[in-house]
Copies of this chain bind each other. A is one copy, B any other.
Amino acid sequence: MKKLLLLFVATSWSIGSFAQNDSLLFRKVSDEILLRSPCYENLRVLCKQIGNRLSGTKAAAKAVDWGFDAMKAAGADKVWLQPVDVPHWVRGKESLMLRLDAKKDYETVPMLSLGNSQGTDGKVMEGSILMVNNFDEFNKLSKEEVKGRIVFFNHRFPQELVNTFEGYGSAGAYRWTGPNLASAKGASAVIIRSVSTGVDDFPHTGSMRYADTVKPIPALAIGNFSADRLEAACKKGETKAKIQSQCRMVDTVKSFNVIGEIKGSEHPDQIIVVGGHLDSWDVGEGANDDGTGCVQSIEVIRAIKDLKIQPKRTVRAVLFMNEENGLRGGLAYNDSAKANKERHIIAIETDAGGFSPRGIGLEMDAAKAQYLRGFRKLFLPYGVYDFEHDEGGADISPLHREGVPVAGLMPDPQRYFDLHHTPNDVFENVNHRELKLGAVILTQFVCLLSEYGLK
């Protein structure tokens, strides 16, 4: 009998406490956004009128103004700019020529220098290519074998993974630390096979950082088709490259995070953050990385205001600056939160593309994650079923290190690493319904948290 009673209580809680009111609220939020959201049009403006917006550029400054205005238009009670000093890296002109066969001429190949890397000061650097398929192979090489060579890290993104994000760590390591390892053994430059799932020849840029202990050497990426050809050529015989690039770190520039807030009616001191990042790489339009996250975060504010929902807890949408090559926005936000002794009950990031949402990653203690999984059934009609991953986001990682529970929207992961950091990350590769559904899920999740808190 005891067991039966327990079962009854559990069931009646699950129906009484959320399944009725909350499922109605979820429906209202979904209808509002799917039928009336301006977020797709907002994204068009950001992508087409401002375009790519690397930290420190004029476009990034324009994006700050755009974000401020969009947050105001969304109806936030208060909108402000939070100062952030950001690095300013410039690409300049660049080119790569490969000689795939000793009998043939050099040919120009699509390439992108890795972000933050140093170029050749505009001079032509010529050298012979040394291909390795992975770090294991590289580690077996002596300094003599590497010295003066252009190391080609030919690591392929693991296509067999259903969740591509699980492959970003292993593939991204060649971009992050490959140049340092190569430089430490005396390489003159590094070419990597792009961190890319694409069946195409788009090179993917992305962040690298020189260790203090190594000499900075030029580092660049080539697309999968070119990498296939270079691989085949390296297997046959000697290949050579000519690299010419002007990229360099210039200076530090004043920039801003953009913050919009709705004050909580009952617990204004309890803050819920939802955010994406405003900066992008300097190619394409920063559409899925992370224009979509920005307009979705703004949409959370708009939908709550236009639906006249009065959140009990404070809801803040944050457009972080400099996620791509410094994380200064995320760090500055956290510094400010500490200085002002703010209490964040959760921070949620949307920086995995504007694709159909499938899950919410929960990076927090087990009890809190389990509590949130209790709301799973509410999300199922909206296609969100996966609450088993511990994914947050880069911008909110400084908050998380201070103990703040974090969560991340998990969209369908199949297309992200085709587009990520390429000239192909453009507005046209975002679908209006997928984008809006992501905003639906974020708004629903924020509404739940503002109603019930996070126990």
Contacts and interface: CB of A to CB of B under 8 A. Distances in A.
Given A40-B199, A358-B383, A383-B358, A159 B433 contact: yes
A62 interface: no
Interface in A377-399: 381-383, 385
A270 interface: no
A54 to B, nearest CB: 27
A23 to B, nearest CB: 13
B415 A35 contact: no
Contacts of A273: none
Given A197-B433, A199-B432, A432-B199, A162 B415 contact: no
Q: How large is the interface on A (under 10, 10 to 19, 20 to 34, 35 or more residues)?
A: 20 to 34
A434 interface: yes
A295 to B, nearest CB: 14
A31 B34 CA distance: 36
Most chain B CB within a 10 A radius of its CB, from A34, A358, A385, A432: A432
B160 A30 contact: yes
B382 A162 contact: yes
B437 A415 contact: no
Contacts of A443: none
Nearest to A161: B34
A236 B431 CA distance: 32
A77 to B, nearest CB: 28
B30 A414 contact: no
B30 A162 contact: yes
A46 B30 CA distance: 38
Copies in the complex: 2
A85 interface: no
A197 B433 CA distance: 9
Interface string A341-369: 00000000000000010100000000000
A418 B437 contact: no
A34 B381 contact: no
Contact of A35 (B160, B383, B412): B160
Interface string A18-38: 000000000000110011000
A358 B386 CA distance: 12
Contacts of A162: 30, 34, 381-383, 437
A433 B31 CA distance: 30
Nearest to A382: B162
B414 A31 contact: no
Contact of A414 (B197, B356, B414): B356
Interface string A404-448: 000000001011001000000000000111100100000000000
Contacts of A385: 385
Interface string A309-321: 0000000000000
Nearest to A381: B162
Given A40-B199, A358-B383, A412-B356, A35 B433 contact: no
A306 to B, nearest CB: 15
A151 to B, nearest CB: 26
A385 B418 CA distance: 25
6 contacts: A30-B160, A40-B199, A164-B433, A414-B433, A414-B437, A415-B434
